Amino acid sequence: MKVAIIMGSDSDWPVLEPAASQLAEFGIETEVLVASAHRTPDKVHRFVAGAGERGVQVIIAAAGAAAHLPGVIASFTTLPVIGIPVNATPLAGMDALLSIVQMPAGIPVATMAINGAKNAALFAAQILAVHNTELAAKLMAHRQTMAEEVERKDARLAQKLAAPN
């Protein structure tokens, strides 16, 4: 199992690093690349055109501002593309969100929240888990762990509120 993570600038890495970490927790290999839809379009095309041959099954693409990278990638492949709008301008990522989410019919890009790298990784894992029962079990265990953490937080708060001042 392999997921590609592509960003328009290395300054996007702090936003995307949680996706790479989450995928690693599930044992999913990643390829990470900096490539610009505007400044290095040939590099983007070459990377995407060969992605399937390299075993990539899902592509996560992040971009800020005009945020064309996820859509350009989607136009070059039938692999699932997950777009992450990055908060990189005075518009706080809304420009990127609207650019990614408003793809024309026929070239879909699944769009996450602004800076939503962790959910992008989880969604990529869910796509891969459709035909991988081991990964599906890891995803269910992850959800159980999150539920248990919520219960611990609830109990701590209830205890704090019940304690006399």
144 plus 67 within the same structural domain: no
Are residues 13 and 78 located together in one domain of the fold?
Answer: yes
d(CA 93, CA 118): 17
39 labelled as ligand-binding?
A: yes
Residue 45 shares a structural domain with residue 118: yes
State the average pLDDT over residues 11-18. Answer: 96
Residues 59 and 120 placed together within one structural domain of the fold: yes
Question: How sure is the predictor about 164, in pLDDT bands with cuts at 50, 70 and 90?
Answer: confident
For residues 26 and 76, membership in a common domain is answered with yes
d(CA 144, CA 121): 17
Within this chain, do residues 15 and 42 fall inside the same structural domain, yes or no?
yes
Asked whether the whole model's pTM tops 0.85, one would answer yes
| Antiparallel, parallel or unpaired: β 58-64 and 81-86 | parallel
Q: Are residues 83 and 145 in the same domain?
A: no
Domain extent at residue 149: 133-164
Q: Same structural domain for residues 54 and 10?
A: yes
9 annotated ligand binder: yes
CATH number at residue 107: 3.40.50.1970
pLDDT at 133 over 90: yes
Q: Which residue has the tokens 């699944």?
A: 110
Has 12 been labeled as part of a binding site? yes
pLDDT in tens, 56-74: 999 999 999 888 999 999 9
Phi, psi of 85 (to 5 degrees): -70, 135
> Once rounded to an integer, what is the mean pLDDT over residues 36-42?
95
